[in-house]
Amino acid sequence: MRSSGIARLRMFGMAGILLCSLASSAVALPELAPSDPAEAARAKSLEEACARTTCRTQSRELQFKLSSGTVSMQTDLLPYADESNIFLYPGDTIEFDFAADGKSMDAPHFSRLVDRLEDPKLGNGALVSTSPRADSRANFSFQFAQDGTGMTLKVKSDIGYHVKYDVIMFVPEKDGLKQSYTSSCPVIPYGSAYETWPHPIAMIVLTGFRVVPDGDYTCK
């Protein structure tokens, strides 16, 4: 897996080891042998992660059309969310939750798989929560999908603050996966947002969730 050398990746902690499994699943890359120290370390990190949070239980085959032909890969049984990060494969539609007061945005929690995202809801002329909760949590949901040869990420927030996050994408190429940072836009309170890319993406990692000031609509 080639790295762009972006400083933000240092925030991942054990996630960096987990992501190696994605690279080793690419058709153009050799798989690590079970006795390989790197594979053993990855397997141990994954086991530890799945002991403290919810992990995927089924692997799926993904196919991507490139200029050089079609490539395929198997998804790994990664956590949905762990260590401040959310992991999304194409085809995922997932609801997470955060502290509703916006003070613990570094701790996304997997809530459930859903069929679709709810549309924003108006109340007295303003956006309001579509799924009010009795506890101190608020939902934040994502739908990541292939759209022809490109990708679309739909976001729905039930948090009453402007929320920004960083996106690391893993782009399939004929010789493996290219890892790079991509821009994203803030999500307005109780609103939704869309991000699109004109090329295939094998997986995205969302990290650095934070509340930004009202009126900050900078996409970067």
- For 147-174, the DSSP string reads ETTEEEEEEEE-SSSEEEEEEEEEEEET
CA nearest neighbour of 202 among 68, 45, 92: 92
Burial label for 158, CB within 10 Å (0-12, 13-18, 19+), is buried
- pTM for this entry: 0.85
* Rg of the chain taking only CA atoms, in angstroms: 18
Quote the CA–CA distance of 191 and 2 in Å, as a whole number: 35
Token reading at 3: 């790295």
Quote the CA–CA distance of 151 and 93 in Å, as a whole number: 14
Quote the CA–CA distance of 22 and 132 in Å, as a whole number: 36
DSSP annotation of 106 reads T
DSSP H helix total and E strand total for the chain = 2, 14
Band the pLDDT of 40: cuts 50, 70, 90: confident
Quote the CA–CA distance of 29 and 166 in Å, as a whole number: 27
Residue 6 has pLDDT above 90, yes or no: no
Percent share of the chain, pLDDT over 90? 60
- How much is the pLDDT for 57? 95
Band the pLDDT of 31: cuts 50, 70, 90: very low
Quote the CA–CA distance of 201 and 89 in Å, as a whole number: 8
CA nearest neighbour of 196 among 206, 180, 183, 177: 183
Token reading at 61: 């085959």
Residue 13 has pLDDT above 60, yes or no: no
What mean pLDDT comes out for the span 96-108?
A: 92
- How much is the pLDDT for 216? 82
Tell me the C-alpha to C-alpha distance, in Å, between residue 213 and each of 10, 17, 106, 141, 184.
25, 34, 17, 21, 16
- How much is the pLDDT for 10? 33
Residue 210 has pLDDT above 90, yes or no: yes
Interval 119-154: pLDDT, tens: 999 999 999 999 999 999 999 999 999 988 899 999
Quote the CA–CA distance of 51 and 36 in Å, as a whole number: 23
Token reading at 65: 């059309």
Residue 5 has pLDDT above 50, yes or no: no
Q: Which is more confidently placed, 209 or 83?
A: 209
Between vectors from CA 94 to CA 32 and to CA 171, what angle results, nearest 5°?
40
